[in-house]
Amino acid sequence: MIDFLRRLAFMCFLVVMISCSSNHFNNSKRNTWVFIMAGQSNMAGRGSLEAQDSLTNKKVITIDSLNNWIPAREPLHFYEKGGLDCGMSFAQTLLKDTPRNVTIAMVPCAVGGSSVFQWLNDKEHRGVKLLSNFKEKVELAKAKGEIKGILWHQGESNAKPNDFPVYQDSLLALFDVFRSEIGNAELPIMMGELGHFAQPKEKAEYFSKINLILADLAKEEEYCYLISSKGLDHKGDNLHFNSAAQRELGRRYADAIQSILINEHK
């Protein structure tokens, strides 16, 4: 009888331990908020790295080129030689108003110079099969935590008269693929405006046209949001955001998604 009671007590102990382990795993996933960074060079980052950008935060993680989860440090993107992006600024800003047990995971997927058509058709660009790479990173993200949104900045490569008539529909089709792959039809997609500093005049008009398309899309489509780039400066090439602009852009992305996440977790 004593042996039976001992065995019974041991079995109960095992059940409790397994249950606790499972709950810890589920809570761990639930408390890891994943954001995917996609698009072209201004999301991949071309800003100059400065001392303040070398700081890490134990509550912000990312992946390396081998898909290992590591402490996040700029530059986050590794597909090409780049620079400062908006990812760390976004994560640091978001952490200020999130529950203390939340970890932010930033997943880099942006590749400079890529067009929306290349993304939609899973073309290889600069050695990266764009949509296949995105899908791979989604599976990695799902295993780590909950995907809360996509930070999107793209359009410079499609700022051409022939692309304008089909750009919005192509972008929507791509977003549908993104959400389908993630399994969330209501996933927030935050769309950054192109820089308001483009030169010469013709190029500025083309960038403005892309921004108008993005603004219309944000008005017409639920769960698509426009992130303003007004007042942000370039790095001297009238194309890429400088370091200060990247940090501010990250804050703007974070501010825009903050209320969505707060309402979701009330």
State pLDDT tens for residues 118-173.
Answer: 999 999 999 999 999 999 999 999 999 999 999 999 999 999 999 999 999 999 99
Residue with tokens 């590591």: 70
Residues 81 and 22 in one domain: no
Residues 117 and 93 in one domain: yes
CA-CA distance, 175 to 181, in Å (whole number)?
10
Residues 24 and 105 in one domain: no
Residues 141 and 255 in one domain: yes
Give the residue from 139, 138, 121 showing the smallest Cα distance to 130: 121
The predicted pLDDT at position 8 comes to 47
Respond yes or no on whether the N-terminal peptide bond of residue 200 is cis (omega within 30° of 0): yes
Beta bridge partners of 108: 37
DSSP three-state, residue 222: coil
State pLDDT tens for residues 144-155.
Answer: 999 999 999 999
Beta bridge partners of 225: 190
CATH number of the domain within which 106 lies: 3.40.50.1110
Residues 243 and 157 in one domain: yes
Respond yes or no on whether the N-terminal peptide bond of residue 161 is cis (omega within 30° of 0): no
Cβ proximity of 78 and 65 under 8 Å:
yes
Residues 149 and 132 in one domain: yes
Range of the structural domain that residue 11 is part of:
1-30
Residues 211 and 238 in one domain: yes
Report residue 264 as tokens: 């979701």
Q: How many domains does the chain have?
A: 2
Residues 67 and 151 in one domain: yes
Give the residue from 262, 28, 265, 261 showing the smallest Cα distance to 149: 261
State pLDDT tens for residues 39-58.
Answer: 999 999 999 999 999 889 99
pTM, full prediction: 0.89
Residues 25 and 55 in one domain: no
State pLDDT tens for residues 173-198.
Answer: 999 999 999 999 999 999 999 999 99
